[in-house]
Amino acid sequence: MYAGFDYGTSNCAVGITRTQVEGSGVELLPLEQGSSFMPSTLYSLERELISEAVGLAMPDGLEKESYIQLRSGFLAQAQRIRRDEGIGDHERTLYVGNEAINQYLSFPGQGYFVKSPKSYLGASGLRPEFISFFEDLVTAMMQQIKRRAEQSLGDSISHTVIGRPVNFQGLNAEQSNRQAIDILTVSARRAGFKSVEFLYEPLAAGLDFEARLNQDKTVLVVDVGGGTTDCAMVRMGPGHRNNQDRTRDFLGHSGERVGGNDLDILLAGKQLMPLFGMQSKLKNGLPLPTQVFWDAVSTNDVGAQANFNSKKTTLHLEQLRLDSAEPNYIDRFIDLRNAKQNHHVVRSAEQCKVALSDSEQHAVDLSYIEAGLGCDITRQQFSEAIDRPLNKMAALMDEAMQQAGCQPDLVYLTGGSGKSLDIRNMVANKVGNIPLIDGDHFGSVAAGLTVWARKLFQ
């Protein structure tokens, strides 16, 4: 059986077709409590137990034997941790999706929590041990997703097409993309997929939309996800969709690591971090340095998180407290750091972003950090906070159209972050009188990947 696999920055989804008839509907499989969309999150009781979970879930065979030899040191550490922490052999140690979020929110100062691991895969300068760790992190998630999809389907899935952004990172794009694709390929095979192919996510979203066109059109697909924004100019419609080779139909594409997560981070930094001292003063009247506050909320940046959790930052915050004119703010920030609640703060910013699509003002409640802590944020404040990433998204639209050398007949807006009122208004203002159509913001990529999988594997 084949499937389309959207291993997204914010959510994961798996699509299949139950018949071999061209044009038949795509079905997204339930992955979690009846939902076809599972948040891209993982929580483990201890970081080292992730490798152990991967090895245990792999079927017996040469692949597993090779993995056990490759990870022998990590697996030995996992056994020591089980003994030292009193974790039983059959005690559950790994959670994904909403279960992972719930574990983190319940025990924020314990365990190992990661949101949007896809954001890390193309990071520059990763040492081999970090690449190995990300392979295990992604494999653990893929194993769980594949198992759940197969349980829903009642059949095994051996072939898949996985979506990929145009660029995983802005810097050293070619090397970054190769590194990320290598990690995803290794992980998918260890998760049990026999054949793995990749397709640009905006093209996948366009293929899903194409099935509904009754006339040929040149379409600008704007896919704004959690981690990246990707644009593609595509000729599509009845005269194109049956072509096995679509190379000539793909007129231009662009992409950058800017998406919904960046909006959450900017909102958290500019509107919530002041509650922790970001805009307070030193005793000499100068403003506090801000980098440590941005590191706290940059939860999609490997380097920033390493800096935030380092011993160097511990010493830096101790000195800031001594030098601050308002040390109570720094005390609050240190409490946040010790309890590992920086992910929770960014989640609160994300919830505020969603709420501001329907209201002019939203009250952000941070009482999980300190009783009575919170603030009101207006839609105008949110719009001002996210001005820079919106400009980057607009530039990506320009780049795709310039490559194509033509204007689109219509614009297809998709991706979970495309639901944001500010992003939709930016796209509408950018394209003027060109018709703007909203897609299935969460399911279009998975559906398009499934359409492509049918072409490749049936």
> pLDDT tens digits, residue range 124-153?
888 898 999 999 999 999 999 999 999 999
222-251 CB burial, b ≥16 within 10 A, e <16:
bbbbbbbbbbbbbbbbeebbeeeebeebbb
What confidence tier does 20 reach under pLDDT thresholds 50, 70, 90?
Answer: low
Nearest-5° Cα angle at 348, 388 to 48? 100
Domain count, the chain: 3
Say if residue 393 is in the same domain as residue 374: no
Q: How confident is the model at residue 411 (pLDDT cuts 50, 70, 90)?
A: very high
Instruction: pLDDT band for 121, please (50, 70, 90 cuts).
Output: very high
Same domain, 17 and 99: yes
Q: Average pLDDT over the chain, rounded to whole?
A: 92
Q: Are residues 225 and 317 in the same domain?
A: no
In terms of domains, do 168 and 49 share one? Answer: yes
CATH number at 406 reads 3.30.420.40
Domain match, 281 and 240 both: no
Are 247 and 326 within one domain?
no
Domain that holds residue 238: 215-259+388-440
Looking at residue 223, what is its pLDDT?
A: 93
Name the percent of the chain in helix, strand, coil, to the closest 5: 50, 20, 30
How would residue 171 be classed by pLDDT, with cut points 50, 70 and 90? low
Q: How far is CA 137 from CA 26, 46, 190, 206, 268, in A?
A: 29, 12, 12, 30, 26
Between CA 193 and CA 250 the distance in angstroms is 28
pLDDT digits (tens, 9 = 90+) for 56-78: 999 888 889 999 999 999 999 99
Does 424 lie in the same domain as 401? Answer: yes
Buried b (16+ CB within 10 A) or exposed e, 384-407: ebbeebbeebbebbebbbebbeee
Q: Let me know if residue 456 belongs to a domain.
A: no
* pTM check: above 0.85: yes
